[in-house]
Amino acid sequence: MKIEQFQLELQKYNIELTSKQISQFERYYRLLIEWNEKINLTAITDKDEVYVKHFYDSLSAAFFFPIQEQSSLSICDVGAGAGFPSIPLKIVFPHLKVTIVDSLNKRITFLKELANALELENVHFYHDRAEIFGRAAEHREQYDVVTARAVAKLSVLSEFCLPLVKVNGHFIALKGSSGNEELEEGRKAIEILGGQVDKIYPFTLPEENSERTIIQIRKVKNTPKKYPRKPGVPIKTPLN
């Protein structure tokens, strides 16, 4: 996807990029490739593919959830990796208060350098396991929106993310073609952890037409105190 097409596709969702934002995405791409030679951030390095499979795909969270309509919104991105979806969202919606947690310190180092280079404000980084982070009083049930992309199956992901969501807040999972299948497997976990499936949005990425699914889950009650369980347990023994 060329930059011009990237802009046109976003305009379909009433997202207009400024020249500064276009420059930020260009800088993001250059830094991603530069750092990818030192640490493993992504297997996708072709510029057109990065724009559609990483940048556009990350922004799809805002196609179906009214991020741009809310003047103050706190977002936590669990297992952000190379910054997806939170950094593209922050570029396009500068008002967002973003918290990023990742278990690999090298990735956190990259993300700090990236945020500095892109002059992003109100972005906070934590090197931690999601299971530990979700038990910390200063983060537990403190976020309006929690996002995750390409981290784990939904049954596991729900245990990582729902403890961080405020009651009446949302967990937004960015999934591929297996989204509906994962949802069926994860419904019990979602309910146990205080969530309720709100909406499901299937769509295809432009140009390459691969299937994507946005699963929007509302937090309807507090997560029981025993969740998340100890590091490693949710993956070994999912709640399903």
Question: 45 to each of 36, 53, 54, 210, 223, how far by Cα in Å?
Answer: 9, 10, 10, 18, 39
Tokens matching residue 35: 């750092």
Which secondary structure element, helix H or strand E, spans residue 148, and what is its range? strand 143-149
> Binding residue per annotation — 63?
no
> Binding residue per annotation — 84?
yes
Distance CA 223, CA 228 (A): 9
Q: What angle do CA 130, 172, 27 make, to 5 degrees?
A: 80
Nearest to 176 by CA among 134, 135, 213: 213
> Binding residue per annotation — 140?
no
> Binding residue per annotation — 137?
no
Tokens matching residue 197: 């499936």
Structure-token match 């998340």, residue found = 228
Per the annotation, binding residues are 79, 84, 130-131, 149
Per the annotation, binding residues for S-adenosyl-L-methionine are 79, 84, 130-131, 149
